[in-house]
Amino acid sequence: MSYTIKLNQKEYERLGKDINIEEQKVNTLIKNPILINIKNKNEKLTEYALHQSILENMENFLKKLGVGFAFIGSEVKIKIGYRYNYIDFLLFNTNFNCYIVVELKITELKAEYIGQITKYINYVDKKIRKPFHESTVGVIICRKENKYIMDYCTNPNVFTSTYQTI
């Protein structure tokens, strides 16, 4: 990708102003907002349509998400107790040696989303992550952030980002 395209998409604005290269953490590498290409802009956006748009151009999404992300799976089926759950996207970050659980939401951030992603993080940590990996991180990509909910989130491995469709 050329520097002109990166400047036109204003990627420099989405990285944040106070990034210290030596002390980077996963949340500083996740761009906010994340730009997602949508084919049919006239159609009402559903979580399924958003999910499909990302799947159709996963490489582009990973680049727009941030640095070092690799795709592991989509709709990853996990069994907790007697019920099956599905992780929207399971990624791995090569820079931080950790799994990333990504949940897509087309609404404003809600408290129940924190519980859902925390459950998925705990599952990945117990069933998938190896001892040499860092702790799993969760990212909720939602239409609008709610800083008040995040103020009471006690899990330091849960982050939010908004998305914009292009």
pTM of the complete model beyond 0.75:
yes
pLDDT digits (tens, 9 = 90+) for 86-141: 999 999 999 999 999 999 999 999 999 999 999 999 999 999 999 999 999 999 99
Whole-number pLDDT of residue 3:
44
Sheet holding 137-142, edge to edge: 34-36, 158-165, 137-142, 98-104, 83-93, 69-80
Number of helical (H) and strand (E) elements in the chain, helices listed first? 7, 6
Task: Provide the token pair at 117.
Answer: 């992603």
pLDDT digits (tens, 9 = 90+) for 44-72: 788 998 999 999 999 989 988 888 999 99
pLDDT(155) > 60: yes
Of 140, 49, 133, 126, nearest to 87 by C-alpha is 140
pLDDT(43) > 80: no
Whole-number pLDDT of residue 4:
45
Whole-number pLDDT of residue 29:
62
pLDDT(42) > 70: no
Task: List alpha helices for the chain, DSSP H.
Answer: 3-8, 11-14, 26-29, 47-56, 58-65, 111-127, 147-151
Comparing 42 with 74, which gets the higher pLDDT? 74
Q: Are 141 and 107 in contact (CB under 8 A)?
A: no
The fold for domain 3-14+23-165 equals Trna Endonuclease; Chain: A, domain 1 (3.40.1350)
Comparing 41 with 94, which gets the higher pLDDT? 94
The mean pLDDT of 17-34, rounded to a whole number, is: 58
